[in-house]
Amino acid sequence: MLARVASASLVGVEGRRVDVEVHVSSGFPGFTIVGLPDAAVRESRDRVRAALLSSGFRWPQRRVTVNLAPSGVRKGGPGLDLAVAVGVLVAEGEVPAEAVADTAFVGELGLDGSVRAVTGIVPMLASVTCRRVVVPAACAAEATLVSGDGARVAARLDELVRALGGSAPWPVATGARRSPAPERGPDLADVRGQWLGRRAVEVAAAGGHHLLLVGPPGSGKTMLATRLPGLLPPLSREEAFDVARIHSAAGLPVADGGLPSRPPLRAPHQGTTAVALAGGGPWLRPGEISLAHAGVLFLDEMGELPAAVLDVLREPLEEGVVRISRARASATLPARFLLVGAMNPCPCGEGVVRGACRCTEAARARYGRRLSGPLLDRFDLAVGLQRPDPADLLGDAPMEPSATVAARVAAVRLQAAARGVVHNAAIPVSRLQELAPLSAAAAALVERRLRSGDLSARGLHRVRRVARTVADLDGRHLVEETHVAEALQLHAARAALGPQVVP
Amino acid sequence: MTGAAGSCEAAAGARGAAPLDDVHRCAAALAALGASPSTVRRLLSGTDACEAWRLVRSGRHPADPAGRLRAAARPGLPDDMGDRCAMTGTAVLLPGEPGYPPVLAADPEAPAVLFVTGAGAPVASTPGDDSPRIAVVGTRAPSSAGVRVARAMGAGLAAAGVSVVSGLARGIDAAAHDGALQPGGAPPVGVLGAAADAPLAPVDARRRASVASAGVLLSEVAPGTASRRWMFAVRNRIMAALSQAVVVVESHATGGSLHTVRAAVRRGVPVCAVPGSVTSPASAGTNALLVGGVARAVRDAGDVLAAVVPGHRLPGLQARRPGAGAMDARSRAVLGALGGEPASLDRVALGAGLGLGEAAAVLERLADAGLASCEHGWWTGSARRPPR
């Protein structure tokens, strides 16, 4: 007797449809799985057998062969357990074949017959085209995102069989994973003083400019960075689905109420490895840079990260994706994020004002070289911070809340979209003259800086893009001298970190 | 670019023309044993260098009765030193010989053997021919203002015909010599704490070579000897003994420059210090010298010369005061908000009551007028741009 049940497996952040074929025939009793299973899938033999017996079903005393089609592609993970078990039951006649038609099953089985949650429900369900999907009860929220009304849940195998046979109603999804993430993150109004730092995150959000914060410990770098997602516009539908897909593949909780709207913030620790950042492992789990897709990647203590880890950032910053290859598979994961780096100005951390630090010149130079020139050149904004003035910390002057700043940011983003670019940081060089025209005074200032050697040709493009954003925030079409001067100042801390790359 | 007139034996020796005789080879070998300067002085006191070397080899030298130096005294060492000095163009000078600075020879802690490298001859060869020399020293971790002051100090002194003596360390020492190395300046004197051929980072090695080719390098450490920490502290007395004044540009509260100051005070050499902000750690040591009355406050080369040579007037260093008449209100407000302490843009804007962009634009204009300067986004009001 032959049965065919639809399921899916996961590679990177992409699901792949897998058809589970179960054949039960006369012969010496045995249980084989073919079709390039990995270790977790091979182990599912024992889980499935125990789960069936615990749920009160008979295990066929005949030869059972399971084929995972397409058989040329490797399959991993325990998510195929449920489909294999259902396939055996259909082949044995416990479940009518028509009950599983046009239905996909994804889930891991426990030895007691319970159905356990698996990661990557969102991308896996997106890859199957069945009308109905059955997932573990704990994955109900994720399944509803993709399959809507077609989503069914199962908490136990025997319950599932009764529901499939029509002798009991489908269980109602309960105990779905609740996302503890609050809709509203920390507010910019909490940052007291720090006008330059506040302005820098506003410009970064408005123009999509990568931001480097340089300051001693306690100068508010982390505070500013964690408020940046709250200034960005809410995720579009496609972005939100991408975020849900990536986070689901990584096993992170997905919000109950539908697609996420707040851009994610990822802040990997400075002890992170290249694989944790880029993604990897046998089944290409997405890394931090993919988890930060459509949001903010905050790298604190950037100077402490090894060069090999920082190198990972170069491809995503250039192309918005990261390509990873392993023996079993290779994948291209989305990784388009706003990068916020934070670092101390020197090893002792006090060297914003040079006389305050006792690092040797050699130590300072070495510290500045930790970040390669090409990587530093990706930062349109580099701002030095100092510890806030006590008067600002204790003062009760109301600071501007995130919502007000976010409204200005949204207006600038809309203007950029009207110009046909994603954001101002993406304005191509060929369109700078047209999209960021300079006033006479602004052009004179730029020319003086070019002549004095303080500004390179590459630096000029960067300054014009940032000045475009500053002028947009000011509500002006023509880029004035004040906008260019501010753009120059919003990059001034770059000079503390060694010479710039000559284009 | 050779030094001033009056070339001497040191210069001739430095060119590596004459091979060393036995006495100088043995003296160089004794200096290369790794003993402290005072031990080397005792080894050579009252005896001929060849005889001293024989006694050390036999382990019976009265200054080394335990024979501790015997192990290092290989038989071939004098010849090796002869070859090495010839190869590196180093002259070996004993006190009282032509080329050995008379003021240094008269010092109670004079180096018993002096290794001299370089083309210039700023170190006077006869007692009557003492050219002016002033030491400019300071911390290895200076503020940007300190570097500017040291560079201007070196340039001003060299332009006034004063040889700048310094230790070629990074920071203030390096900046002083960089200033002094400008064309037409008096030849600089580098007093090394290590051997003249000790390995250095490329940028420091280039500076050492420039000082050697424009002036002279002195060291009591034999070529080829490995550097030790104590060598750098003990060489400071040579700088103090050689100079008519010691200028400390910046020093932390416990800095190596204070060794030089102590050595200068013991010798009666006047000490000058550049005052700094009381909140700047890099000026803590110099400010303490001023408060303690040890040093005289100086701002630039003119002040130093006036302090050392009463009535001295430095040509070409008239203070330039920019006209403040035609300034608009915003510039005045921004200038008023700028202090001597570096300030960030938002502080300046807040102080001037302007927006960030307006303040930035005014600051850029002030910078072009030479009235403000910016380093890494930190603004200071300055009367002059740093000399380049």
A196–B346 C-beta distance less than 8 A: yes
pLDDT of A104: 94
How is residue A179 annotated by DSSP? Answer: P
- Which residues does residue A267 pair with via DSSP β-bridges, in sequence order? none
Asked if B356 lies within 8 A of A199 by C-beta distance, the reply is yes
What amino acid occupies position B318? Q
User: What is the rounded distance in angstroms from the CA atom of residue B7 to the CA atom of residue A253?
Assistant: 83
Beta bridge partners of B294: none
Phi-psi region of A258 (alpha: psi -120 to 50; beta: other; left: phi over 0): left
The fold for domain B329-381 equals: Arc Repressor Mutant, subunit A (1.10.10)
More confident residue, B291 or A22: A22
d(CA A467, CA A439): 12
- Min Cα distance A287 → chain B (Å) is 34
Q: Which residues of B touch A481 (CB under 8 A)?
A: 361
Closest CA to A298 of A265, A249, A345: A265
Strands (E), A287-419: 296-299, 321-325, 330-334, 338-343, 381-384
Give A362's contacts in chain B (Cβ within 8 Å). Answer: 170, 201
Domain A188-497 has CATH 3.40.50.300: yes
CB A498 within 8 A of CB A368: yes
Q: Which amino acid is at B37?
A: P
Strands A321-325 and A330-334: antiparallel
- Sort residue B130 into left (φ over 0), alpha (ψ -120 to 50) or beta: beta
Taking CB atoms and an 8 Å cut-off, how many pairs form between chains A and B?
100
> Would you state the pLDDT for residue A499?
56
pLDDT for res A63: 93
How is B281-345 classified by DSSP, letter by letter?
GGGHHHHHHHHTTSSEE--SHHHHHHHHSTT---TT--------TT--HHHHHHHHH--SS-EEH
**Which single residue is written with the structure tokens 């910019």?**
A188
Nearest CA distance, A362 vs chain B (angstrom): 9
Pick A357's closest partner by Cβ from B141, B342, B377: B141
Residue with tokens 């300072």: A364
Mean pLDDT, all residues of chain A = 87
- Exposure letters A164-182 (e unless 16+ CB within 10 A, then b): beeeeebbebeebbebeee
Domain A2-165 has CATH 2.40.10.120: no
B330 interfacial to chain A (CB closer than 8 Å): no
Q: What is the mean pLDDT of residues A146-167?
A: 89
CB contact under 8 A, A361 and B344: no
Among candidates B141, B361, B375 on the partner chain, residue whose Cβ is nearest the Cβ of A360: B141
Better pLDDT: B362 or A469: A469
Q: Give A418 to chain B, closest Cα distance, Å.
A: 25
Which residue among B171, B346, B375 places its CB closest to the CB of A361? Answer: B171
- Domain B9-16+89-308 architecture: 3-Layer(aba) Sandwich (3.40)
How high is the pLDDT of residue B388?
32
Among B363, B38, B88, which Cα is nearest to B220's?
Answer: B38
Structure tokens at B233: 């502290």
According to the model, what pLDDT value does residue B274 have? Answer: 94
pLDDT in tens, A193-222: 889 999 999 999 999 999 999 988 888 899
Say how far apart CA A196 and CA A201 lie, in whole Å.
9
Show Cβ contacts of residue A423 under 8 Å, excluding neighbours closer than 6 positions: A206, A207, A208, A413, A416
Confidence of residue A176 (pLDDT cuts 50, 70, 90): very low
Cβ distance B346 to A362 less than 8 Å, yes or no, reads no
Please check the confidence at residue A457 and state whether its pLDDT lies above 80.
yes
- Would you state the pLDDT for residue A386? 84
- Cross-chain residue pair A355–B344, CB shorter than 8 Å: no
What's the Cα-to-Cα distance from A149 to each of A15, A141, A152, A165, A247, rounded to whole Å? 20, 12, 8, 20, 22
Q: Which residues of B touch A384 (CB under 8 A)?
A: 344, 376-378
Please tell me the distance from the alpha carbon of residue A497 to that of residue A376, in angstroms, as a whole number.
9
For residue A415, give the amino acid letter.
Q
CA A425 to chain centre: 20
- Determine contact, residues B185/B215, Cβ cutoff 8 Å: no
The secondary structure element, H or E, covering residue A202 is: helix A195-207
**A361 touches B150 (CB < 8 A):** no
CB contact under 8 A, A470 and B144: no
Confidence category of residue A501, pLDDT binned at 50, 70, 90 = very low
Query: What would the two tokens of residue A378 be?
Result: 């990706």
List chain B residues with CB under 8 Å of A484.
361
pLDDT block averages, 10 residues each, chain B of length 388: 37 49 89 87 86 87 82 87 86 85 86 83 45 90 91 91 90 93 87 89 89 90 86 89 92 85 84 91 89 86 81 41 51 79 86 90 81 80 46
Q: What is the Cα Rg of chain B in Å? A: 24
- Alpha-carbon gap, residue A406 to A408, rounded angstroms: 5
Residues of B numbered 56-95 whose beta carbons fall under 8 angstroms of chain A's beta carbons: which are they? Answer: none
CATH 3.40.50.450 residue ranges of chain B are 9-16+89-308
The CA distance from A343 to A301, in Å, is 5
User: Quick check: helix, strand or coil at residue A51?
Assistant: helix
**Is A359's CB within 8 Å of B276's CB?**
no
Distance from C-alpha of A100 to C-alpha of A83, rounded to nearest angstrom: 10
The ranges of chain B annotated as CATH 1.10.10.10 are: 329-381
In 3D, which of A401, A389, A415, A499 has the Cα closest to residue A454?
A: A499
Are A91 and A22 in contact, with CB atoms under 8 Å apart? yes
Measure the CA–CA gap between A363 and A350, rounded to whole angstroms: 13
Alpha carbon A25 to its chain centroid, in Å, reads 47
Residue A486: is its pLDDT beyond 70? yes
What is the reported pLDDT for B315? 42
Q: What is the pLDDT of residue B264?
A: 87
User: How does pLDDT run across A104-120, given as a tens digit for each residue?
Assistant: 999 999 999 999 999 88
Which has more pLDDT, B13 or A413?
A: A413
pLDDT at B135: 94
Judging contacts by C-beta atoms under 8 Å, the chain B residues touching residue A387 are: none
Q: How far apart are the first and last CA of chain A?
A: 70
Domains of chain A by residue range: 2-165, 188-497
Q: How far apart are CA B81 and CA B224, in angstroms?
A: 9
